[in-house]
Amino acid sequence: MIYEVRTYDLYPRTQPETIKRFGEAYEKRKQFSELAGFFYTDVGPLNQIIHIWPYKDLAERARVRKEAAASGVWPPDISKFIKNMSLEIYEPCPFSPELKPGNWGPCYEMRSYILTPGLVMENRKRWEKALPKRLEYSNLSVAMECDLGTGNKFVHIWPYKDPNERYAVRSKTEHEGVWPPKGPTPDAPVTVWHQENKLMYPASFSPMQ
């Protein structure tokens, strides 16, 4: 399983029309393959949309994209609204759940980390150890590592009912020493050297709500 994550930065005040046109085109595009989720940002980078596409592998991705383009139903007519496009291919971590349709949010926090070179596997070990306890407090949508795109990038997405629930859960897990994952000793090296996050909400046609 791989996830193609496409992030588009839009011109101001074009987000509603972009989402509308994307959704209309997606009704025909999904006959070739379906989205995992489609989101727009509310906190963090503004005027941004993120769409995540699951594929079995790169060969399936190439085949599906070629078929969709040849059919004339894709891509949607939104190019004039886009300032910048980013594309990355991710592999889910061994301990990660799969992205599945459902009413999980509707508030999703997407956290993007650049890991310290040489410590990708150490970061994975720390997550494997700490995550089971953390999941007693709230769900995880996915944890994945970038395979094509930005090196040493690690992304995890968490669903919440609203920002207040997010704040309450994060405060409680930190206060009780459950989260974030820790090293084996207090002086263990930090596995993360850069962090970003955003709060985002699903479009009406997103399988993840």
DSSP 8-state class, residue 99: P
Q: Whole-angstrom Cα distance, residue 180 to residue 165?
A: 17
Give the SS3 label for residue 47: coil
* Residues 39-70: tens digit of each pLDDT: 999 999 999 999 999 999 999 999 999 999 99
Q: Map out the domains of the chain with their CATH numbers.
A: 2-202 (3.30.70.100)
Average pLDDT score over residue span 5-33: 98
Q: Whole-angstrom Cα distance, residue 85 to residue 69?
A: 18
- Whether 14 contacts 82, CB under 8 Å: no
* Residues 73-84: tens digit of each pLDDT: 999 999 999 999
Task: Please tell me the predicted confidence (pLDDT) of residue 62.
Answer: 98
Single-letter residue type at 184: P
Percentage of the residues of the chain whose pLDDT score is greater than 70: 100
User: How is residue 112 written in tokens?
Assistant: 């993007």
Confidence of residue 110 (pLDDT cuts 50, 70, 90): very high
Percentage of the residues of the chain whose pLDDT score is greater than 90: 99
Q: Whole-angstrom Cα distance, residue 111 to residue 117?
A: 18
Task: Please tell me the predicted confidence (pLDDT) of residue 26.
Answer: 98
The runs of H, that is alpha helices, within 141-209 are 163-175
Task: Please tell me the predicted confidence (pLDDT) of residue 175.
Answer: 97
For the cut 90, the answer to whether the pLDDT of residue 105 exceeds it is: yes
**128 alpha carbon, distance to own chain's centre:** 19
Task: Please tell me the predicted confidence (pLDDT) of residue 186.
Answer: 87
Instruction: Tell whether the torsion through CA atoms of 76, 202, 141 and 43 is positive or negative.
Output: positive
For the cut 90, the answer to whether the pLDDT of residue 179 exceeds it is: yes
Average pLDDT score over residue span 81-108: 98
The continuous run of DSSP H or E covering 130 comes out as helix 120-134
Chain mean pLDDT for the chain: 97
The continuous run of DSSP H or E covering 159 comes out as strand 153-160
Q: Whole-angstrom Cα distance, residue 20 to residue 98?
A: 27
